[in-house]
């Protein structure tokens, strides 16, 4: 029986982690998942892309697997795959403005990295308490200016002070 190459071991590992992540995501959402599965799957895919990028950089990978793949595996992979992950966000017409919709998680991640640039935008609070979400976004220098209802959800609107 042939031994797997490091690339095959890595591909198997990523597949296993993704299946495990998606299953856990659905389980965490619970019965609400069935009400709009495609929407929840799209959110899970977006979150997985971020997690996958971290794994590809070696963050969160078990030491035993790192040892099995070789010390320079992640440096070689990063050198082969140097590219920017493009993420597109949904947009909504709110009055005369076209606003990007961010999940609370995306907003926090981008803000903490110092790369969030929108002056006015929508937030999907996900499953968080609305008051807590508003407070935390306002801590980043934005003001809550209202709500934008859609057929599926009501999104929070924020504007730069």
Q: Are residues 42 and 106 in the same domain?
A: no
Range of the domain at 116: 91-160
Q: Are residues 58 and 38 in the same domain?
A: yes
Q: What does pLDDT average to in each consecutive run of 10 residues of the chain (161 residues)? A: 82 92 89 88 87 83 86 69 59 91 88 85 86 92 92 89 78
d(CA 107, CA 68): 36
d(CA 9, CA 15): 10
State how far the alpha carbon of 151 is from the alpha carbons of 36, 37, 62, 154, 155, in Å. Answer: 12, 15, 43, 8, 11
Chain position carrying tokens 């010390």 = 71
Question: 6-29 and 37-56 helices cross at what angle (nearest 10)?
Answer: 140
Q: Report the domain count for the chain.
A: 2
Which of 36, 54, 80 corresponds to the end of one domain? 80
Q: Is 159 exposed, middle or buried (0-12, 13-18, 19+ CB in 10 A)?
A: middle
Q: Are residues 58 and 104 in the same domain?
A: no
pTM, rounded to two decimals: 0.49
Question: 6-29 and 73-80 helices cross at what angle (nearest 10)?
Answer: 80
Which of 80, 114, 142 corresponds to the end of one domain? 80
User: In 3-state terms, what secondary structure has residue 144?
Assistant: strand
Q: Are residues 126 and 150 in the same domain?
A: yes
Query: Is 85 inside any structural domain?
Result: no
The separation between the first and the last C-alpha atoms of the chain, rounded to the nearest angstrom, is 64
Which of 33, 52, 80 corresponds to the end of one domain? 80
């Amino acid at each position: 029986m042939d031994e797997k190459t490091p690339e095959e071991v890595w591909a198997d590992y990523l597949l296993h982690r993704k299946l495990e992540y998606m299953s856990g995501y659905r389980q965490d959402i619970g019965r609400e998942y069935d009400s709009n599965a495609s929407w929840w799957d799209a959110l899970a895919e977006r979150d997985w892309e971020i997690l996958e990028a971290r794994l590809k950089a070696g963050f969160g990978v078990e030491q035993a697997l790192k040892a099995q793949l070789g010390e320079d595996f992640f440096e070689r992979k990063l050198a082969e795959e140097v590219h920017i992950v493009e993420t597109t966000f949904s947009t909504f017409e709110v009055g005369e403005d076209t606003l990007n919709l961010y999940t609370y998680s995306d907003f926090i991640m981008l803000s903490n990295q110092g790369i969030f640039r929108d002056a006015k935008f929508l937030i999907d609070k996900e499953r968080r308490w609305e008051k807590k979400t508003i407070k935390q976004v306002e801590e980043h220098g934005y003001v809550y200016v209202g709500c934008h209802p859609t057929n599926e959800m009501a999104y929070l609107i924020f504007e730069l002070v």
